Amino acid sequence: MNETMDKIGTKSDVDENFELFSDLSNMEHEQIVFCSKPEAGLKAIIAIHDTTLGPSLGGLRMWNYSSEQDAIRDVLRLSRGMTYKSAISGLNLGGGKAVIIGDSRKDKSEALFRAFGRFVDGLSGRYITAEDVGISEQDMEWIFTETKYVTGIPKHMGGSGNPSPVTAYGVYMGMKAAAKRAYGNDSLTGKRIGIQGAGSVASHLAGYIAKEKAELYISDIFEEKAEAVAKQTGAKVVKPDDIYTLNLDIFSPCALGGVINDDTLNYLKCDIIAGGANNILDDEEKHGDLLIQKGILYAPDYVINAGGIINIASEMEGYNEKQAMEKTGRIYDTVLNIFDYAEKHNIPTITASNILAEQRIKAVANVGTVYSSKSHFSGRKGEVYLRDRS
C-alpha cells in the first residue's frame, strides 16, 4: 500500500499536477467544457459554476485571448460572478459563462456559432447562453438555430434582443446609489465621470449620464468607437492610459475586468468606482481592502451590471420590457443595502455583497433537503420557457 502511494504521490503533488482541477475546486466550479470544431474555427470554453438556484446562465464572450490560460482564467472568474449576480438579484438561476477564442471583428461565421450551439445543446439545459462582449444579435440567432438553450435573441423572434440598454440602466442606478452614499444626494449633475470602454453598455450608460449634464470623459482601445460616443453625448475623448490619471468624481470601467490592480490603484483619483465591466477588481480581497484605505467607494460590479440577466430572466417568463426595467431599477436599493452591511461589519463592499449572495444560495440549498415527492421542479424558471420554445 505504501509503495502504491509513493508512486501516486501526496495530495499536494496531485494538486500540482492537476492544476485545472485545483482551480475548479478552489473556485467551487461544477463543470468546465472545452469545445473544438476546427472546420468551423471554433475554440470555446464553457464554465458552469453553481446550479443550486437553477440552470446556469451567462453570456458568451468572443475575445482574442493571448493564451489558453488567460481564456480559462477569464471564463472561471466570469462564471463565478454570474452565480453571485443571480443570487444577489433574487433570481432563480445559477452561474455559467462561455468564451470563444478569436477576433470578433474578423473570425465570425455562421458555422462557428452553429457549432457552438450544438455544444450548448449537448449540456441539456445545464448552461443557457446569452450575449456578451464581441457578440451580436445575429450571432445569437445562429446559435438559436441549433439549440433552445439561448437567450437574448432578436425581438422579432420572441426574445428580448440586446440586453445592453437594460444593463446600462442598472449601472446608472447603481452609480446614483453610490453618489447618494458618497455625496448625500444621487444627482450626477456637474460630476466628473470617466467611462472606460465605448461598447454597447458604455454608450447607453453615457447617454443616461449626459442627460444629467455631468462632465463626461470616455476612452477606448478603438478610438473611433470613443469618438462616436463622444459625438452623441458631448463627452471628451481621452487616451486609454490617461483615463486612470484623471481627477474624477466617478470612474466607470465598462470594458474588460482586472483594471483595478496593483498598478492602476497608484494613479486613481476618484471618490467612486461604479462600472459595467465584470471582475473589475483584479484581486477581490486585496484590492477591496486597498480601496477602503484610499477612501474610494466601490459599487460591486456584478450587482450593478445585473440588468442584463434580469432582462433575460424576464424573457424566460414571457418578456415584458417595462417589468424588466422596473426590476433593474431596484439595483439602487440593493446597492444601498450592501453599503449598509459593509459599514456595519467594517468590511469591503465586495465582501459584503459576496456574503449576502452566499447566504441566499445556502438558504435555498437547505430547502432542497425537504423531500417534495418530485425528482425535479417542473415550474422552475427557465423550464416553461424552454418547453414552450421546443
pLDDT at position 354, please?
Answer: 96
Q: Do domains 16-81+94-162 and 165-360 have the same CATH topology?
A: yes
Respond yes or no: is residue 180 known to be catalytic.
no
pLDDT at position 84, please?
Answer: 95
Q: Is 180 exposed, middle or buried, given 0-12, 13-18 or 19+ CB atoms closer than 10 A?
A: middle
pLDDT at position 320, please?
Answer: 79
Tell me how far apart the alpha carbons of residues 375 and 384 are, in angstroms, rounded to a whole number.
Answer: 16
Tell me how far apart the alpha carbons of residues 381 and 386 are, in angstroms, rounded to a whole number.
Answer: 9
Q: Is the dihedral of CA 339, 343, 348, 353 positive or negative?
A: negative
Residues of the chain with pLDDT under 70: 1-18, 371-390
Domain ranges of the chain: 16-81+94-162, 165-360
pLDDT at position 126, please?
Answer: 95
CATH 3.40.50.10860 fits 16-81+94-162, yes or no: yes
Computed over its alpha carbons, how large is the radius of gyration of the chain?
Answer: 21
Q: Are the beta carbons of 235 and 176 closer than 8 angstroms?
A: no
Residue 199 has a CB neighbour count (10 Å cut-off) of 19
Tell which residue, 252, 255, 258, 356, has the closest CA to residue 298. Answer: 252
Tell me how far apart the alpha carbons of residues 210 and 220 are, in angstroms, rounded to a whole number.
Answer: 18
Tell me how far apart the alpha carbons of residues 110 and 5 are, in angstroms, rounded to a whole number.
Answer: 50
Tell which residue, 169, 172, 181, 133, has the closest CA to residue 298. Answer: 181
Catalytic residue among 85, 97, 191, 327: 97
Q: What angle do CA 10, 14, 20 make, to 5 degrees?
A: 160
What CATH fold (topology level) applies to the domain 165-360? Answer: Rossmann fold (3.40.50)
Report the DSSP beta bridge partners of residue 179.
none
Looking only at the bridges linking them, the beta strands covering 250-253 and 236-237 are unpaired
pLDDT at position 55, please?
Answer: 93
Q: Write the DSSP assignment of 217-257 as a string of letters.
A: EEE-SSHHHHHHHHHHH-PEE--GGGGGTSB-SEEEE-S-S
